[in-house]
Amino acid sequence: MIRVIQGDITKQAVDAIVNAANTSLLGGGGVDGAIHRAAGPDLVFECRMLHGCKTGDAKITKGYRLPAEHVIHAVGPVWRGGSHGEPNLLASCYRRALEIAAENNLTSIAFPNISTGIYGYPKDKAADVAIATVNQFLEQPSTIQEVTFVCFDMENLTLYQDRIHASQ
């Protein structure tokens, strides 16, 4: 099942929330900063032990003070016009987050709109990649039963709702 809501990803009571992380995994602005602030200082400590993460990949930590048991840190691409592998890298970070969740026997996961903030990925193109990747993953057997796209703004909410409705 795929859901779309508008809200704060740090408030989601799911098995894992996905952090739109940078390659250092040590926090930043936007969603990344909000998740680090809400989880508390233990998250940064654990992230230091992971020694960063490559663009298109993801790594898992505990959720600490968050309602979610885990945080999956996915590093999306910076938009450079679309001809530098950005769609494949964005799809890869969604796929890797789902794979890691399934490997850890998680059943519910919540995603932000990865790469659409300071990384500048066009929201409509990012929504297409995110939804297609999640739909493709959910066609295969796994432990994942519920995927929630948590949209911070109305523009993303509308984009995701329209695309998910059209894909059903």
Q: Report pLDDT digits (tens) over 85-115.
A: 999 999 999 999 999 999 999 999 999 999 9
Q: Is residue 141 scored above 90 in pLDDT? A: yes
Q: Which of 32, 57, 124, 162 is catalytic?
A: 32
Helices (DSSP H) in 11-153: which residue ranges? Answer: 30-39, 41-50, 86-103, 123-138
CATH of 2-166, one of 3.40.220.10, 3.40.50.300, 3.30.310.50, 3.40.50.720: 3.40.220.10
pLDDT of residue 18: 98
Please enumerate in sequence order all residues whose Cβ is within 8 A of that of 168, keeping only pairs 6 or more positions apart, or say none.
none
| Other residues' Cβ atoms within 10 Å of the Cβ of residue 143 | 13
Residue 119, pLDDT > 90, answer yes
Q: 167 pLDDT band (50/70/90 cuts)?
A: confident
- Quick: pLDDT tens for 1-44: 999 999 999 999 999 999 999 999 998 889 999 999 999 999 99
Indicate if the alpha-carbon torsion angle 50, 150, 110, 115 is positive or negative: negative
32 is catalytic: yes
Torsion of CA 152, 156, 158, 161, to 10 degrees: -90
